[in-house]
């Protein structure tokens, strides 16, 4: 017992030393800012995706005088290699010589508290969606491991105070972000850059066929994307959560497998490995796929629960099913919802497998376009017009005179 406690103590002290050294290196590094260096990171340095990707590609094509670099966690390099994107490994020597000195940080999730951010660094927080589930200050009772209400909310305020700019995709999100993040700095409300790709390619059938072929899916087969969010209370440890098979994959294959492929896209915080080989390509795990935008494009129907991806998917005018099998628990004990957007959902809510399969069968059999609520897109997606990244960069240029 004593031996175990001593090892645990030593480990904690080593972590403290590491965090302190990182903080100091960032402090010193930020004294020599490179005005033409921009640092990018997506989903805790695990992906080449989302708003940072869209902004990176726009700057690369329009501002060649800037040096662009991504932070990448070891083991997640392949998409960056494939796309010839410059990167440094998080916590490597090159990373310590890049991120602290970068004038701009463009990131879509929170950073650890022990990473120092100086006033010389401009932190552009892009975030990653329009919220249906409650965020940060709006969560009534935090269920995550190794924290509590007071600590979690305090840390979120400290983090949001480091953001110089925060992107909002619509007026609703701007209002929510201000209150939920206790955000006092500048919000740029001009759509989410990641939606430009969807809008420009939603009728690009050649691209859709190519993407399906890359996943081993016949162009004749229909595709259903299941993209649930994570459950705060179903954790393995801090930052890692369990995946729950909320409907029978076996029964899905029996009922739809002849003409339909199911793609499973778990949340980036879910660490369970899904072994789906026994389904012989009828169900495919795409949790590690580079960018969810491609998966949204090729899907004929989206099944989700409380994930924000439905908002972007509605731009494609295809059916959405909200499978809220734990609706009461999630609303009353886990997170809760923002009632305004909850009442505007562009699709039906089902709460059990029988309802899910019945509605899915209707959606897959219906040759008409879906009964998407036009009012939803007018209210929540009017800023997402295919030009969001250009508008966002123009806003930053106007606010940051040095960015030219």
- For the chain (404 residues), the mean pLDDT of every run of 10, in chain order, is 61 74 78 94 95 98 96 96 97 93 96 90 96 92 78 92 97 97 96 97 96 95 91 53 74 92 77 69 89 96 93 94 89 87 94 96 77 83 96 92 64
pLDDT of residue 332: 82
3-class SS at 321? strand
Q: How far is CA 314 from CA 54, 212, 307, in A?
A: 19, 20, 13
What tokens appear for 156 in the block?
A: 């979120």
pLDDT of residue 404: 59
pLDDT of residue 232: 57
3-class SS at 197? helix
Q: Where in the chain is the domain with CATH 3.40.50.11820?
A: 2-195+386-399
- The CATH T-level fold of domain 2-195+386-399 is Rossmann fold (3.40.50)
| Full-model pTM | 0.91
pLDDT of residue 263: 96
Q: What is the dihedral of CA 378, 381, 387, 389, to 10 degrees?
A: 160
d(CA 384, CA 387): 7
3-class SS at 218? coil
Nearest to 236 by CA among 273, 276, 182: 273
Q: Which residue in this structure is represented by tokens 């990373």?
A: 95
pLDDT of residue 241: 46
Q: Where in the chain is the domain with CATH 3.40.50.12580?
A: 203-380
Give the neighbor-by-neighbor strand order of the sheet with 186-189. 87-89, 67-72, 34-41, 102-107, 122-125, 165-168, 186-189
* Helical pair 249-256 and 353-365, crossing angle rounded to 10 deg: 30
Q: How far is CA 290 from CA 49, 95, 211, 270, 293, in A?
A: 7, 22, 12, 15, 9
pLDDT of residue 216: 94
CATH number 3.40.50.12580 is the correct assignment for the domain at 203-380: yes
pLDDT of residue 129: 93
């Amino acid at each position: 017992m004593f031996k175990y406690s001593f090892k645990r103590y030593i480990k904690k002290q080593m972590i403290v030393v590491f965090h302190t050294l990182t903080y100091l290196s960032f402090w010193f590094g930020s004294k020599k800012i490179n005005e033409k260096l921009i640092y990018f990171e997506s989903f805790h340095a695990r992906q080449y995706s989302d708003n940072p990707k869209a902004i990176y590609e726009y700057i690369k094509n329009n501002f060649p005088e800037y040096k662009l670099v991504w932070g990448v966690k070891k083991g997640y390099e392949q998409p960056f290699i494939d796309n010839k994107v410059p990167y440094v490994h998080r916590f490597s020597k090159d990373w310590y010589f890049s991120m602290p000195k970068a004038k701009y940080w463009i990131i879509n999730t929170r950073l650890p508290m022990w990473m120092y951010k100086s006033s010389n660094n401009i932190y552009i927080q892009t975030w990653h969606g329009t919220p249906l589930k409650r965020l940060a200050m709006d969560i009534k009772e935090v269920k995550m491991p190794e924290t509590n209400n007071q600590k979690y909310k305090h840390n979120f305020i400290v983090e949001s105070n480091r953001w110089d700019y925060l992107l909002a995709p619509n007026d609703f999100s701007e209002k929510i972000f201000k209150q939920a993040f206790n955000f006092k700095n500048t919000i740029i409300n001009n759509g989410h850059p990641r939606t430009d790709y969807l809008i420009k390619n939603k009728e690009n059938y050649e691209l859709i066929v190519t993407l399906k072929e890359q996943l081993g899916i016949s162009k004749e087969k229909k595709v259903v994307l299941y993209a649930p969010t994570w459950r705060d209370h179903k954790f393995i440890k801090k930052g890692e959560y369990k995946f729950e098979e909320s409907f029978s994959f076996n029964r899905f294959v029996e009922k739809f497998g002849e003409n339909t492929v199911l793609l499973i896209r778990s949340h980036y915080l879910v660490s369970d490995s899904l072994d789906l080989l026994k389904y012989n390509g009828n169900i495919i795990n795409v949790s590690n796929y580079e960018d969810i935008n491609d998966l949204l494009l090729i899907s004929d129907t989206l099944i989700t629960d409380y994930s924000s991806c439905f908002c972007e998917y509605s731009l494609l005018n295809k059916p959405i099913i909200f499978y809220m099998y734990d609706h009461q628990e999630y609303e009353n004990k886990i997170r809760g919802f923002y009632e305004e957007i909850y009442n505007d959902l562009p699709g039906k809510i089902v709460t059990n497998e029988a309802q899910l399969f019945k509605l899915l069968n209707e959606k897959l059999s219906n040759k008409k376009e879906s009964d998407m609520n036009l009012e939803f897109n007018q209210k929540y997606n009017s800023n997402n017009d295919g030009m969001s990244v250009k508008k966002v960069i123009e806003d930053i240029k106007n606010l940051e005179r040095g960015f030219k």
